[in-house]
Amino acid sequence: MTTPIKITLYRWGGSWGPFKVNIPCGECTLTKDILKDTFETELNGVPIELEVKDWLSHWWEPLKYGAWHAPILVVEGKVISQGEALNRGVLVQSVIQEWVKRDTLKGNIVYGKATCPFCVKAKQLLEEAGVEYRYHDVVKDSAALYRMIPEVKAIIGEKTPVTVPQIWLDGQYIGGADNLEAWLKQHNLSNIPDNVVSMENNQSSVG
């Protein structure tokens, strides 16, 4: 079983000695709402363990990370936000960066975008070969983007620009559309054009 990503929210509240906080914190409430909605959408499927603590009752805990102004959000020991409402994109990126370390891509996956002709080509090649796959639009789905980039960078190097499509088959990294086409031919899954006749069975292959 995969260990969940640990997230701690320190909200403005609690008590310490003679001091007690009774003032409502709008940023804390908004941050908690953003967490809930993001867990149900962009981060759906990622195991997360959320702990909510009153800052004044635990002020020394975030202080060791250099944070002192609630609301404070800590993801796996790293402060990603303090003193203001949470930035949704920062949350998604931080969680996915941790998730990549403990999860491997499985099955057939294509990362792409709608305006990319090579992405269209890759999907067409897979469909013609009868290969089922999961498609993620990295423009519309920020979690997919943040998941794709570190996976690809680990293979091609930090300084090499990441383009789309990026393709995995059976959990194995393939690369772009040209690499996919070569892989399909190597595994006898590519289509033979209609005007080419197979001498073995006198029929055209559809892969």
Q: Topology of domain 109-186, per CATH?
A: Glutaredoxin (3.40.30)
As a whole number of angstroms, the distance between CA 126 and CA 53 comes to: 48
- Domain ranges for the chain: 5-100, 109-186
What pLDDT, on a 0 to 100 scale, did the predictor assign at position 2?
76
Q: Does 5-100 carry CATH code 3.40.30.10?
A: yes
Average pLDDT over residues 2-30: 92
Residue range 84-109, pLDDT digits in tens: 999 999 999 999 999 999 999 999 99
What pLDDT, on a 0 to 100 scale, did the predictor assign at position 191?
67
Whole-model pTM: value is: 0.78
pLDDT band at 21 (very low <50, low <70, confident <90, very high): confident
Topology alike, domains 5-100 and 109-186: yes
What pLDDT, on a 0 to 100 scale, did the predictor assign at position 1?
63
Average pLDDT over residues 121-146: 96
As a whole number of angstroms, the distance between CA 152 and CA 167 comes to: 10
As a whole number of angstroms, the distance between CA 124 and CA 118 comes to: 10
> Exposure of 84 by Cβ count < 10 A (0-12 exposed, 13-18 middle, 19+ buried)?
exposed
pLDDT band at 60 (very low <50, low <70, confident <90, very high): very high
Lowest mean pLDDT among 43-47, 63-67, 167-171, 200-204: 200-204
Helix or strand or coil: residue 52?
Answer: strand
Asked whether the predicted pLDDT for residue 190 surpasses 90, the reply is no
What pLDDT, on a 0 to 100 scale, did the predictor assign at position 193?
53
What's the token pair of residue 157? 């190097």
The residue that leads in pLDDT, 105 or 192, is 105
Q: In terms of residues, how long is the chain? A: 207
pLDDT band at 196 (very low <50, low <70, confident <90, very high): very low
Give the rounded percent of residues in the chain with a pLDDT score beyond 70: 91
Amino acid at 179: N
Q: Whose CA is closest to 64, among 49, 45, 79?
A: 79
